[in-house]
Structure 1
Amino acid sequence: MKILAVDTATSWQSVAILDDSRVLARHDQDAAGSHAKLLLPTIDRLFRETGLTVKQLDGLVVSIGPGSFTGLRVGLATLLGFRTISRLPLAVVPTLEGMAWNLRGTSTLLCPILNSRRGELYWALFRWTSDDRLERVLSEQVGTPNMLGSSLSESALLFGEGWTVEESAIRASISPTITVSEAPESSMKPSAVSIGQAGLERLRRGEYAGVGMSPLYVQRTAAELKYEESGGISPVALRQERVARKVNARLATARGRREKGKSGTR
């Protein structure tokens, strides 16, 4: 299955053409403030490199966020335009999920992290299962480094631009009983190749983007932030605390099952 995959969720623009797991062509570049200017020429360049046209593809894939509001709109609008012209199926992939595909097969809990535009962070938790499925442990969150640290109850591999920028603050918020590992530098940025691989799974399952598709912004409002600054706790923060407690309970149950399974095989 040949696909065009695009990621414009951050200042880093990534475009790739895949044939199943094989990368036919790809291009990654710093596109801060220039996604609209650079995206179409980059796609044209990859079509020339591969000798393909959009009509020879089998599908389209784009990252849907969270991330840069402008970048997300540019990427989604461009791929929606290609869908209209070609009538190809379009799959959308959450950016943090796509980043987890950078580390496919890793057994450790994964925590991809991106910067939010208000000095906060986006993150989610994932785990690769023994049968090569990506399990979402915690859905996309937005908040402070302290909120991120509170959502972790077991050792995890943290990575992404948000980790690079806020490493010290995040480490300070994590329990000393939790081991934090760093991913290779190559996995720090969203990649159209990984987005494409995740999108291929969706296309094969028939999970196509709807007509009214919009980016996944995952952003707290200014009113909620002001409420916290005044000494209160926003409804979003309260929801995130409840979610964190549920996730921690699920992880504890899963650990108990794994330990019970290990003791049973001895």
Structure 2
Amino acid sequence: MRVLAIDTSNLVLSVAVVEAGRVLAELTTNQQKNHSVRLMDAISLLMDETGTLPEQLGAIGVAKGPGSYTGVRIGVAAAKSMAWSLQVPVIGISSLEAVGMNALGFSGLIVPLFDARRGQVYTAAYRADGWEALRAEAEERLVLLRDWCASLRQQAGGEPLLFLGEDLAIHRELIVAEMGEQARFAPASYNHPRAAHIGLLAFRKLAAAGNSHELVPEYLQLAEAEAKWLAQNPAPAGKEQS
């Protein structure tokens, strides 16, 4: 059985075809281009390169966010559509966890983050669980980076923290100021999500996989347009917005 894995949740576009314990092919680019235009071509290329027929796919794994609203929607919509047409399960994987998987083997806390503007980041904290998976130490959140650093200082004690993510250049100065020598930074190649990790994680989570209708994106906050609409159209007293 093979799994097709997709990540379009941020700037990176990554697609992979994996089997249990083996990556058959992976394509990853980090360019400012339109995922909606390029995703299906990338999938077709990898399916052809690996000789994978649609009926050989046993599941679809996809980065479900947080990240770019548009990017997350593109990947999740494509994964759900393919899973529905093939009648296979779709497994949503945290976009943060996918980046954190690059640091398997690190002995301290692993802290992936994405910029969320206005001094905020999407982030979480993990610890390596052997060489195959991560264990969440702090749940995904949208938080001011300065507040997050204060929380990490309490949680980590004196152990090192490895920060990961393509947006680190925006926040590195503040992280160093707040965390000092506890803050560690990996080479640039470790900051990009890999669809191969998403595919291998999807294999581990197959038993809990749902159907294509059950998967929903994880944005961690409302889109700006939706937030403005809700502010201008408050729910009547005693009722909630659906």
Scaled by the length of structure 2, the TM-score of the pair is 0.83
The residue that corresponds to 1:25 in the other structure is: 25
The residue that corresponds to 1:179 in the other structure is: 182
The residue that corresponds to 1:94 in the other structure is: 94
The residue that corresponds to 2:171 in the other structure is: 166
Mapped partners of 1:78, 1:130: distance in 2: 32
Q: Where does the alignment leave 5 or more consecutive residues of structure 2 unmatched? A: 228-242
CA contact 2:105–2:131 (8 Å) conserved in 1: no
Greater per-residue strand proportion:
2
Mapped partners of 1:40, 1:186: distance in 2: 24
Mapped partners of 1:146, 1:209: distance in 2: 39
Report the alpha carbon displacement of residue 33 of structure 1 after superposing the two structures with TM.
5.0
Find out whether 1:201 has 2:207 as its counterpart.
no
Find out whether 1:217 has 2:219 as its counterpart.
yes
Mapped partners of 2:17, 2:209: distance in 1: 20
Q: Where does the alignment leave 5 or more consecutive residues of structure 1 unmatched? A: 226-266
CA contact 2:89–2:212 (8 Å) conserved in 1: no
Find out whether 1:56 has 2:61 as its counterpart.
no
Change (3 A) 1:8 1:221: closer
Find out whether 1:139 has 2:112 as its counterpart.
no
Greater RCO (Cα-Cα under 8 Å, separation 6 or more): 2
The residue that corresponds to 1:123 in the other structure is: 123
Mapped partners of 2:220, 2:87: distance in 1: 29
Change (3 A) 1:46 1:131: closer
Report the alpha carbon displacement of residue 156 of structure 1 after superposing the two structures with TM.
0.8
Greater per-residue helix proportion:
1
CA contact 2:16–2:25 (8 Å) conserved in 1: yes
The residue that corresponds to 2:232 in the other structure is: none
Number of equivalenced pairs: 220
CA contact 2:81–2:212 (8 Å) conserved in 1: no
Report the alpha carbon displacement of residue 40 of structure 1 after superposing the two structures with TM.
0.5
CA RMSD of aligned residues (A): 2.2
Letter in 2 for 1:188: N
Identity of aligned residues (%): 30
